[in-house]
Structure 1
């Protein structure tokens, strides 16, 4: 589970004016000179969201961007584990009670997707990792290293198999007392996907959103094959990078470049393995390109935990996903389609 995220290095090559089809109540071909590039920034979910898109004029761009950021703020009130009254925290408060919690459609949907990615990745991505995340947050604030008893206790309340979902009536049950959900490894990707859906309501499809380093990409800019994205290994070797032309996908990176805890000469990553309850000591720089932002966000977390050896086995089942892994010992591996 990832507690913090780092920005992927990227560059955008965008024309100032171009052409695309804008959909209002009818599909209308618009002259090339009416298409303008707009960019907006907003702080939400503990990150900066940078939004770029093409629209025919200022008024539509302003209303569309305002709608996107209001939607992201709304999602935060549901998914945040920092806000006392969030729907996520209200669900967590019922853990171990034996009572089903009636979830709203957004919370239920992201839980369904989260469990799906947990199954795909052998539990290396797990939104029930909240108790472990909370333990390490306290440790970082108070500058101490959790002992084995504390880690063991936190682990008892972790495990995606302890999340019971009833799709018929949209109820959720957290079966173990002390369970706590944390959407830090999937929430921004999910919000970015939703943001691009909002833009499409305004007839805007050529769009790009950087959600704190998680990139969600819509249709290509006008008269372009895609958005030009530079992904880097994050290492000292400046040649370890790729410039990719992408559209309709999500891109996420994960790694230990800036945040870690050092204890007795050992560096523990900010990325925690849900299976051990401890930050990773073998660090893997991960880049994932997936069909959408939600998948990319979750899978980047998982493959950082899996590393190359385990990651190869899991990747075989993910045909539509491109993966690039670089371990601290210099070992590198990419899927054939990267």
Structure 2
């Protein structure tokens, strides 16, 4: 693989796709080529959105959800495999991650309108349609069936990471030697900057969002950060974060921020969401089950915990 030279130009475009901000960075011979490749990236992410979005009525996911409790729906192999991986992840985390979370009743509000905690009955009812065990996959017919009426699947926890992975692979197949796909913090990078230095990623200090507590080099891999420090509500003196445990309907607690490094942004995305729900101890156990994955957890007290395979001494503070 030829090394990049200083003749390369780096171009970045910010777009809104999949309801989120995407920062698309490409290193190419000239500005025109870079912008053309970014157009290719936008088209690929748009294609994925129109396959997996539960908000667009014409997507296959919307068709699956409309037929919950009625009949199986034949889907593209790409969506079938994405769903299969999500169910495997749901099983691995004992439901801390659940692809059918999309069916939750929104009894917790994080827009400032909430003045008291919802009743225990309301919280219990809010998760009644969640349950990955009620998703039936038929690999021969290539169908997805949701057994319960009102069930929904959604890819809010892995979809942007998947889009970052697929877009990176597509650009690499077209000869792009370096770039970054940043899907609102779900990042996948490859290659180096034109001067040969690595791309870098900063981890926000959850106790002070204006500061970064560590900067990592990012070399041909993905990084995803999930946090509870930006979106929460305080009721009766207690802080409730916006990430909900699909098994109980109650907000997760204990983890303020989790950053996961992996080969795949889809995997890192699923792990980070799960670890917020599982907590520090079980979160570290989950990271240890994936040899190629590393992570840093900041708990609600600001203490830092990390997987054994991460070299914090290489980090710039």
Common fold, TM-score beyond 0.5? Answer: yes
Q: Is the partner of 1:280 in helix, strand or coil?
A: coil
Matched, 1:216 2:199: no
Q: Which of these residues, 39, 46, 50, is aligned with residue 73 of structure 1?
A: 46
**Contact 1:60-1:202 within 8 A present in 2 as well:** no
- Tell me: CA distance 1:261–1:199, structure 2 relative to 1, closer, same or farther (3 Å): same
- How far is the alpha carbon of 1:137 from its aligned partner? 6.9
**Contact 1:284-1:307 within 8 A present in 2 as well:** no
State the number of aligned residues: 309
Aligned to 1:169: 141
Aligned to 2:228: 256
- How far is the alpha carbon of 1:276 from its aligned partner? 0.8
Distance 1:53 1:182 in 2: 29
Q: Which of these residues, 17, 22, 29, is aligned with residue 49 of structure 1?
A: 22
- How far is the alpha carbon of 1:240 from its aligned partner? 7.3
Aligned to 1:130: 102
Equivalences for 1:1-338 in 2 at 5 Å? 21=2, 32=5, 34-97=7-70, 99-132=71-104, 134-136=105-107, 143=114, 145-222=117-194, 224=196, 226-236=198-208, 241-338=213-310
The structure, 1 or 2, with the larger RCO (C-alpha pairs under 8 Å, 6+ apart) is 1
Q: Is the partner of 1:319 in helix, strand or coil?
A: coil
- Tell me: CA distance 1:237–1:96, structure 2 relative to 1, closer, same or farther (3 Å): closer
**Contact 2:6-2:195 within 8 A present in 1 as well:** no
Distance 2:234 2:11 in 1: 43
- Cα deviation code 1:39-62 (max 9, x no counterpart): 111111222111112112334322
Distance 1:229 1:240 in 2: 10
Gaps of 5+ in 1: 1-19, 22-28
State TM-score, norm by structure 2: 0.88
Q: Is the partner of 2:203 in helix, strand or coil?
A: strand
Q: Is the partner of 2:100 in helix, strand or coil?
A: coil
**Contact 2:203-2:213 within 8 A present in 1 as well:** yes
- How far is the alpha carbon of 1:333 from its aligned partner? 1.3
CA RMSD between the two structures: 2.5
**Contact 1:37-1:53 within 8 A present in 2 as well:** yes
